Structure 1
């Protein structure tokens, strides 16, 4: 009997999930961050799930997008982009603004659409896989590895959110100096078995972050290390840091802002440069690759428009001799499962992927995804191989409904102003 793959219902559930006080160059994470859970249901009663950003601008685009999917085939993945082009974007939401947390560069309507499409594509692939009895990686051409390696994502961090701010407790403790960063890395290793480490920089003056990387190199000799200041440095500062840390860094991620500055750094640094800021769309590839501005592109299926676009990016990068790995922003288990499926299909994945997942104490799945030896096993179950916890989803949605709107859009600078009222979003380069 042939499965009926007609989409008969789409459910959008915005939620707020707990987030620790992680620091970056823009400020600090809010105590709760918005995510959007997408469910696509077929005529046969099969439901596929996806996840993307939950800020208001994404939800406002997802709602009309969802209505246009009714009656379409869940297998019509290319049609998702056609539908997205038919949905108008409020220019006031994106014009001249920077993206989530200020860490992706300038927003455009097309970037916004792709971030919405990505969640729906994953939901459709999940439903299609369940209907056909195939894992998502099989729908993408088949896996080339049985597990995917992830890197410990280290952050400078306060011990807790500011006093008086409602928040969920965490047991990670503070990390505001080299000793704290090393202690955090040890905790990641003990809990999850990670063997490579990435530090989110751009928080303290460069010499302090150089000291932190040196401390990590001493504590974990021979382990891959990365530093990501999110474009907070000048070309001169970037070159100085590269010279100081060239013997221990696997790569330096987005030290300077924009392709021209990155190209200047790359020409002299002697250290590979990675990016998730100056190359986040296919249109940004020609200039960056022609100028040799980046040696590793960090894909993020939320940015690029889904899992198949990630495969396309990997193929283009391979053609030009540019490495590829995966970027992460605050995400839950649905996104981690999707990342793992597509990463399993990319032949030349020579760098461990990023993941925020260990920082997220809350999830919408019946069972958390496990890291063993710093790796996630690729599921062979139909679809993504995950199941929604309906009670937990309802609880996190209720938190979103009860919010007065202050947390429905991520704003790291606003969160910092709770503790430091005079804080303004730093101009770049900061140093």
Structure 2
């Protein structure tokens, strides 16, 4: 049947780890390392097309992807759903994966939240679109809806890299580019974060910003948010503390921020026997500010 319809089949699958330089960006779990890692999935088919997907880095994810190669090789591209089904059925939960994802703020479990097959699915859809001559927006949605999509600038408190000389964070202090010079340097004050936002606005045109929180006290970070709103009164300003605050603290911090914050991402996590979903619902009802999450709904069962 495959030969009769002349459908492309997958002829190779390669998993390629890549790395790039990072700055000493601060988060709830500490500082970013001097480099960040990703895993690329490169699929090639019998029509000569190449499909690419990418996912979080790390040996665990790389090995999970490589274990899928026998389930992908020599399969018809158009049966990509069958390929994914075979991967799902063959998958086994790791012994120390309790299914809670990262809603308990245990970042070491991130590798269990990021499903490696997502990279394979993206690469497969890339091949399907090329075989049919269709854009992804036509293949998965209702076609092209707009010519441009505005994105926000992601702001981070940046620690002093000189405190960890042995890690060899990149030094760009001699760059002719203002942003390249700034991004590797310490930025911890309200004024320095506003300067970071202005520099990103000048270089890339960002008008809306999200601040990575969970680094200092909630009160300090809210002062930074207010400073950003003052500097960009027409901008949409958001904060993501990665669930660092208790429910009561989150309510106290955000109750009077309706005219400053557009939304709050993961302000609080599970507490007192209640799940993150229940706690976030209480928060939203109390402050009437939209919420977002990428921590508490990481498994389809968690949506029910």
TM-score by length of 2: 0.85
CA distance in 1 between partners of 2:122 and 2:9 (Å): 16
The 5 A counterparts of 1:8-87 are 8-87=11-90
Tell me which stretches of 4 or more aligned residues in structure 1 moved more than 6 Å.
Answer: none
Query: Structure 1 residues 272, 140: closer, same or farther in 2, change over 3 A?
Result: same
Match of 2:223 in 1: 211
Query: Structure 1 residues 143, 12: closer, same or farther in 2, change over 3 A?
Result: same
Q: Which has the larger radius of gyration?
A: 2
CA distance in 2 between partners of 1:2 and 1:188 (Å): 51
CA distance in 2 between partners of 1:272 and 1:90 (Å): 33
- Aligned with 1:185 (options 191, 197, 200): 197
1:295-324 per-residue CA deviation (whole Å, 9 max, x = no partner) reads xxxxxxxxxxxxxxxxxxxxxxxxxxxxxx
CA distance in 2 between partners of 1:156 and 1:103 (Å): 21
Displacement of 1:86 in angstroms is 3.4
Match of 1:136 in 2: 136
1:144-172 per-residue CA deviation (whole Å, 9 max, x = no partner) reads 11111111111111253621213333522
Match of 1:230 in 2: 242
CA distance in 1 between partners of 2:233 and 2:110 (Å): 39
SS at 1:262's partner residue? helix
Displacement of 1:135 in angstroms is 2.2
Higher relative contact order (CA 8 A, sep 6+): 1
Displacement of 1:254 in angstroms is 0.8
Structure 2 residue 284 is matched with structure 1 residue 266: yes
The size of the alignment, in residue pairs, is: 283
TM-score by length of 1: 0.61
CA distance in 2 between partners of 1:105 and 1:282 (Å): 21
Is the CA contact (8 Å cut-off) linking 2:102 and 2:295 kept in structure 1? Answer: no
- CA RMSD in angstroms comes to 2.6
Q: Bigger CA drift: 55-64 or 181-190?
A: 55-64
Structure 2 residue ranges without an equivalent (≥5): 173-180, 270-275
CA distance in 2 between partners of 1:33 and 1:190 (Å): 25
Is the CA contact (8 Å cut-off) linking 2:159 and 2:188 kept in structure 1? Answer: yes
Is the CA contact (8 Å cut-off) linking 1:8 and 1:42 kept in structure 2? Answer: yes
Is the CA contact (8 Å cut-off) linking 1:210 and 1:244 kept in structure 2? Answer: no
